[in-house]
Amino acid sequence: MISTQRINSKFLIPLAGVALLASCNGENKAEETDQLNILFIMTDDHTRQMMSCYDNRHIETPNLDRIANNGVIFRNAYVANSISGPSRACLLTGKHSHMNGKKDNISIFDGSQQTVQQLLRQSGYQTAMIGKWHLDSEPTNFDHWEILPGQGSYYNPDFITEQGRTHYEGYATSIITDLSIDWLANERDKDRPFVLFLHHKVAHRNWMSDSQHLSLFEEKTFELPANFHDNYEGRIAAQQQELSIASDHDMDIVNDLKMLRPGVETRLSNSYINGEYNRLNPEQKAAWDAHYQPIIDDFYEAGLTGKELAEWKYQRYMRDYSKTIQSLDENVGRVLDYLEENKMMENTVIIYTSDQGFYMGEHGWFDKRFMYEESFSTPLVMHLPSRFKKQGVIDALVQNIDFAPTMLEIAEIDIPSDIQGVSLIPLLENSEAPVEWRKSLYYHYYEFPGEHAVKKHYGVKTERYKLIHFYDDIDEWELYDLYTDPSEMNNLYGEPNHAEITAELMEELRKLQEQYEDPIREKYPI
């Protein structure tokens, strides 16, 4: 079956083309497979505000930008449910949470259901998963897997494999990269195409820097978002969240910002002491303490309160987060270098994304979960072999349920009709012809009651508007005009001059719930 598909292929270069590539190489020969490899790199909680090809206010990410500059950058990429486990389930199944069953981080993913790696493997792809998995059940349909237990650790992490536990000394981002390059170089069968899911732990809370990056960004003052001191007027669910940088309860001075001092006990100080801090080996701890001790001394000396304390916390948060991204960027650079040196750029599609976006002080917050832009969106850039014609910016509305069908089309496998996402390939083929594309996206978040107290909600987004319904123990609607109010500060729901657009969006929401068969529509009929 695969060989007949090869002949009619839209993207595959004829074998003669590969031979030509091989003949002009030096030591490293191009691999003689005519099927495309897929390298799917996903980070945790990495957001567009902290990636310079999207936003250059804060930090530089030259290696991530390298992917975008030579490939494509999606400016409107979103997730279906802004939280780790559910987002990963959407990726692997191509279905919304209510269909794949993984609605929150607590439930266990049913790995016996149809997944993209299963379909790729059945048609001859080698499948590998390295890094953060976070689906609680064991990975299924991977030829090779080595995953972090749960959230995993930044320092000296343990991994789970089919053979049992492994342990490595060092920093998670570098180790995950080493394991991935080792699999690419030494373990896989080079005569068959592969899909490698390279999933980083970075940049998850509590943002532990690699020792070598500790001193970076310490002189930098990060720009405060204009709505950092938001008072959440007109937005009831936003008034009740626990995502606040200013709050002692939400952002912990010890666990999150490392201000550890004998006698200071906070809600999460024990998690820090018995967790990441105690994982440091003597050498790492010496570097850590040498860096943080003067900052700790200054902090307790200064006795900041109120707005000053909140803004100080914001600066520390931004610095620690940025250091973890520095390591990420360098390590992604190592993988790109490996692929370039081994002449694999012409037969490998590289996808870089995150499991969701994140708040970097917008609305005064960290974390995610809300359908507001910063956490609903996700970075998405791709390197494409030259047989794909598109380069540059893509503005179409895309979602993480689209990854599975996209990978299937790259592999020339029929897309099963129960997959809810759509392949992104039409957007990558031709820069001239307009592509018929979806006009709206559906979102549904479920983890309430839960950490950070974000209410359950669902909603619809079009290019210009967003309509959200917070439900369960509240019943609140919100409407935003993203052209006039991109920061979503002004809830227009119920305003008479927006009645018409509200009705249109309600109708769109109703249609999406029907199309995706979300059972919530029976509880809250529109």
Nearest to 80 by CA among 460, 508, 462: 460
Kindly list the residues in this chain that would bind ligand SGN in the complex (CB under 6 A): 44-45, 83-84, 105, 134, 151, 204-206, 268, 367, 451-452
Phi, psi of 151 (to 5 degrees): -75, -20
Query: According to the binding rule CB under 5 A, does residue 34 interact with Ca ion?
Result: no
- Per partner kind, with CB cut-offs from 5 to 8 A, the member of Ca ion, ligand SGN, none near residue 451 is ligand SGN
Fill in the DSSP letter of residue 211.
G
Which member of 65, 311, 355, 412 binds Ca ion (CB under 5 A)?
355
465 and 480 Cβ atoms separated by less than 8 Å: yes
- Per partner kind, with CB cut-offs from 5 to 8 A, the member of ligand SGN, Ca ion, none near residue 244 is none
Our CB check for ligand SGN shows the closer of 52 and 266 to be 266
Query: According to the binding rule CB under 5 A, does residue 367 interact with Ca ion?
Result: no
Residue type at position 166: T
Query: According to the binding rule CB under 5 A, does residue 412 interact with Ca ion?
Result: no
CA of residue 381 relative to chain centroid, distance: 12
- Exposed/middle/buried for residue 413 (C-beta within 10 Å: 0-12, 13-18, 19+): buried
Our CB check for Ca ion shows the closer of 45 and 252 to be 45
Q: Which residue has the tokens 């897997």?
A: 145
Structure token digits, residue 288 = 């850590």
Query: According to the binding rule CB under 5 A, does residue 447 interact with Ca ion?
Result: no
Query: According to the binding rule CB under 5 A, does residue 374 interact with Ca ion?
Result: no
Query: According to the binding rule CB under 5 A, does residue 420 interact with Ca ion?
Result: no
Going 102 to 107 to 113 to 119, the CA torsion angle's sign is: positive
Q: Centre a 10 Å sphere on the Cβ of residue 336 and count the other Cβ atoms it contains.
A: 21
Which are the contacts of 188, defined by CB distance < 8 A and separation ≥ 6? 126, 128, 144, 194
From 127-135, 234-242, 315-323, 348-356, give the range in contact with Ca ion by CB under 5 A.
Answer: 348-356
Our CB check for Ca ion shows the closer of 85 and 225 to be 85
CA distance 98 to 62: 38
Going 303 to 306 to 308 to 314, the CA torsion angle's sign is: positive
- Per partner kind, with CB cut-offs from 5 to 8 A, the member of Ca ion, ligand SGN, none near residue 468 is none
- Per partner kind, with CB cut-offs from 5 to 8 A, the member of ligand SGN, Ca ion, none near residue 447 is none
Binding mask 60-89 for Ca ion (x = CB under 5 A): ------------------------x-----
Question: Shortest Cβ distance from residue 494 to Ca ion (Å)?
Answer: 33
Query: According to the binding rule CB under 5 A, does residue 45 interact with Ca ion?
Result: yes
Distances (CA, A) of 138 to 90, 108, 142, 160: 17, 10, 10, 9
Element (H, E) at 127: strand 126-132
- Per partner kind, with CB cut-offs from 5 to 8 A, the member of ligand SGN, Ca ion, none near residue 452 is ligand SGN
Question: Shortest Cβ distance from residue 206 to ligand SGN (Å)?
Answer: 6
- Per partner kind, with CB cut-offs from 5 to 8 A, the member of Ca ion, ligand SGN, none near residue 105 is ligand SGN
347 and 33 Cβ atoms separated by less than 8 Å: yes
Our CB check for Ca ion shows the closer of 316 and 369 to be 369
397 and 100 Cβ atoms separated by less than 8 Å: no
Question: Shortest Cβ distance from residue 19 to ligand SGN (Å)?
Answer: 45
* Position of minimal CB gap to ligand SGN: 84
List contacts with Ca ion (CB under 5 A).
Answer: 44-45, 84, 355
